[in-house]
Structure formats: structure tokens, C-alpha cells
Amino acid sequence: MKKGIGREFVEKTKHKYLELSDQQKGLTQPPLIWPRQQVNPTISLPHPGNLPMSPVDLRNLIVQRASLREYSDKPLTLAELSYLLWCTQGIKLIYGHQVTLRTVPSAGARHALETVLLINRVEDLEPGVYRYLPVEHELEVISTQPDLGGRFATACFGQTMLMHCATAFIWVAVSYRMTWRYGERGYRYLYLDAGHVCQNLYLASETIDSGTCAVGAFDDDGMNALLGLDGSESFVIYLATVGKKPPGS
């Protein structure tokens, strides 16, 4: 069987090929999160525990979970968005400047993902692009330019649900935050972590009568360009759209 880059990635990230990591060399670890840009305004989010919730059955949630590509026109509330953000990247505990413990697992508690939001239809938020600040549990306003949904849909090869969802979660991998500890094998863990986060989003969405659709088909360079990422030190790794379920679904 012909070898390709995928097989080479799996082979060359085996432990037997790994050299000393930067952590093992005694180099300073990178920041736990991206710092906010002081020139950008921020928006406080409601406490996620304040959202009224009915009791749920986890088994039923897993049975109900399905990718939803069509949404109603009903917006998400800011409280619901706050809840989804906490379920996917919320911080439960911080140990100094070394470790955050969050609502999802991560290799070595490195949590090398940043959450960017495309907001189309959320109460009390202007449509645009925002970044989640997990320590403060706030949103940082990145851009409110018109037709951002259309640009992201184009970068996702014409998937128009990016234009019609209430919001899209865009996860950005910050590679050195993971490879500082694990070297080249850390790239494997970035993709595993993205899967953990997205599954939490699926299940959390079900509890608020909403649906999610993961998006793996996108133009990497186009998506990175939209967010001003270099594509190497930081890059879009995964997306998912969220919106209220249409009647009868």
C-alpha cells in the first residue's frame, strides 16, 4: 500500500521518535490562554449556573444526539451561549499560572484550544466575530463587519448553515501550548482535544432544545486568513454550528 502523509504523521509521532520536549529542557511554558487585546471591548456573560435547566437523562441525550444542519429563526439567549461556552471550555479551577482544569479533558491539562464565535443570531449581541475569554468568562469583540457569515460559509466550501445558524464555534489550536510538553506527538493530542470539546457541545446543545453540526470540511488557509492566524503556530482545527431546532424536529 502506498504511503502518504497521513501514515507518515502517525509513524513519526510515535514515542520512539520523540526528542526531549521544551518542558524537559527547562524552557518556560507558554501562556495558558491568549491575552485579550486591550483595544477591543469585552462583554460579560451571565453565570452559566443561572440558566434554568430541566433534569436530563444522559442516555436519552446520547440517543437524541444527531447533527442538525437546519435551524429555526429563534435566537439563542446570551445565557444559553454562556452555558455552551462553559460546557465546552469553562474553567473549574486554576493552579497559579501553570494549569487550568476545565469542563473537558485535555492531554496534560494543556488546553491548547481557543474558542472563536461567529455570531449570527444571539440576543443582546451584534452579529460578528467574538473570542471567548475563559478566565473572565467574557467575550472579546473581534469584528462586527457585515456579511461575515457569508465569508465563513465560502471558506467552508459553500456550507450555507454557517450563514443561518445562531452561532458557530470555531476552535483554534495553539500548537506550542501542547508541543511544549509533548513535542511532535502533541499534534495528535490537539485533534483528540478538539473531539472532546465538540462532543460536549453536541450534548449541551440537546439540553437547550438546540442542535449542532460539526464541520471538518473547510479551506484551512481561507479560515486562518479570516481570523488573522499564521496557520502554523495557531490554526483553525474544527468548527461546529449551533441553532435552535426547527418545529417538528
* Confidence at residue 189, expressed as pLDDT on a 0 to 100 scale: 98
Residue 37 confidence (pLDDT)? 85
User: Residue 117, exposed/middle/buried by CB under 10 A (0-12, 13-18, 19+)?
Assistant: buried
CATH placement of domain 41-244: 3.40.109.10
Domain boundaries along the sequence of the chain: 41-244
Per-residue model confidence (pLDDT) at position 1: 56
Residue 114 pairs in a beta bridge with 172
Residue written as cell 450555507? 160
3-state secondary structure of 183: helix
Give the C-alpha distances (Å, rounded to integers) separating 155 from 26, 231, 237: 40, 14, 13
Nearest to 112 by CA among 195, 171, 56: 171
The pLDDT of residue 96? 81
Nearest to 75 by CA among 117, 126, 121: 121
10-residue stretch averages of pLDDT, the chain, 249 residues long = 85 96 96 89 95 90 94 98 98 90 97 98 97 97 95 98 98 98 98 98 97 98 97 98 91
- Grid coordinates representing 11 are 509513524
Per-residue cell: 77: 439567549
Predicted confidence at residue 51, as pLDDT, reads: 92
Using left for φ > 0, alpha for ψ between -120 and 50, and beta otherwise, residue 67 falls in beta
Based on its alpha-carbon atoms, the radius of gyration of the chain, rounded to whole angstroms, reads 18
11 by Cβ neighbours in 10 Å (0-12 / 13-18 / 19+) ranks as exposed
